[in-house]
Amino acid sequence: MFGFIIQRLLATIPVLGMVAVFVFLMLRLTPGDPAAVLAGDNGSPEQVAEIRESLGLNEPLVVQLGIWIGNILQGDFGQSYFFKKDVAELILLRVEPTLALATTTLIFTIMVAVPIGVIAAYKHGTWIDRAVMAFSVAGFSIPVFVLGYILIYLFAMQIDLFPVQGYKSITDGFWPFLHRLILPSITLSVIYIALIARITRASVLEVLGEDYIRTAYAKGLTPNAVLLKHALRNAAVPIVTVIGIGIALLIGGVVVTESVYNIPGLGRLTVDAVLGRDYPTIQAIIMVFSFVYVMINLLVDLTYSLLDPRIRY
């Protein structure tokens, strides 16, 4: 097990290296000049050239890439063009809202998606099964930002049940903290619930046709015991896999959701950095997201041996 973990950690180095090169080249080769953005609409060509020189943007791409990677290896993500602060400091200031939103979304998603997926499989062919499948289709079809504005209109403007925008730290009290995260979490979790519920239904439905399930019923076990102790446990590996894969949806959805609800997290910081052509900030955020995604997939792989004793590393 220890050797497997070390091997996977070492494998993250070339992955993150390829991500770094791709992100760097993608930003430099797309239209737009951060120096022109910083100079403003009234900036002269001389001012733009001076800003480019001060930022090191006149250097060849290979030189810029080498300097950036060298700084990253030293733990220096550079200074933001737009915010005039160290990028690492910006990320630390914005990570709490994003982490809170992602955590509440994951908890809510798993609490809803897995039970309705199991129930849909157990009630296969009934109206409950068809309703869950219809919800899954709708969840994949409605864009996150559209659902966000619908929920804001219904529950914030019409009913005045939840606040429209903003974020409260948990240090300000648990209920104010949770109250402002309920609508964003529901908005972000719908597509995630649709994905996990669909996979859970398919996995449990496949397991319910196995011989050991019929044996469990023949031994006189209750349906709940059969579903939880036999069917769900044996179907857990693909469910956990899709939860890990769905983190990519979660990361992408955070950017949109934080913009809709004006949450000052990493997603909102990404949007501001893109609009301001803030290369160091964009590069650092994408690297952080990539590292988190790789680590989550490693944790998912490690849970396989806990869920299925037949799996060994």
pLDDT over 90 for what percent of the chain? 7
pLDDT in tens, 87-146: 888 899 888 999 899 889 989 998 999 999 988 888 888 898 899 889 888 888 888 888
Give the other-Cβ count within 10 Å of 184's Cβ.
29
pLDDT in tens, 268-298: 888 888 888 888 898 899 888 888 888 888 8
Q: Which residue has the tokens 């602060």?
A: 85
In the predicted model, is pLDDT for residue 312 greater than 70? no
pTM score: 0.85
pLDDT in tens, 77-90: 888 888 888 888 88
Q: Give the count of alpha carbons within 13 A of 72, CB side only.
A: 19
Give the residue-averaged pLDDT of 170-195: 89
Contact call for residues 285 and 270 (beta carbons, < 8 A):
yes
Tokens of 160: 């005045």
d(Cα 289, Cα 36) in Å, to the nearest integer? 28
In the predicted model, is pLDDT for residue 309 greater than 70? no
pLDDT in tens, 221-261: 887 888 877 787 788 888 888 888 777 778 778 888 888 89
- Which of 208, 232, 226, 291 minimizes the C-alpha distance to 110? 232
In the predicted model, is pLDDT for residue 182 greater than 70? yes
Backbone angles phi, psi at 101, to 5 degrees: -65, -45
Q: Give the count of alpha carbons within 13 A of 74, CB side only.
A: 8
Higher pLDDT, 33 or 15: 15
pLDDT band of residue 1 (cuts 50, 70, 90) is low
In the predicted model, is pLDDT for residue 46 greater than 70? yes
pLDDT band of residue 313 (cuts 50, 70, 90) is low
- Which of 163, 154, 161, 141 minimizes the C-alpha distance to 261? 163
Domains within the chain, CATH numbers bracketed: 14-73 (no CATH), 93-307 (1.10.3720.10)
Partners of 79 in beta bridges: 86
For residue 19, the model assigns a pLDDT of 86
In the predicted model, is pLDDT for residue 68 greater than 80? yes
Backbone angles phi, psi at 86, to 5 degrees: -65, 135
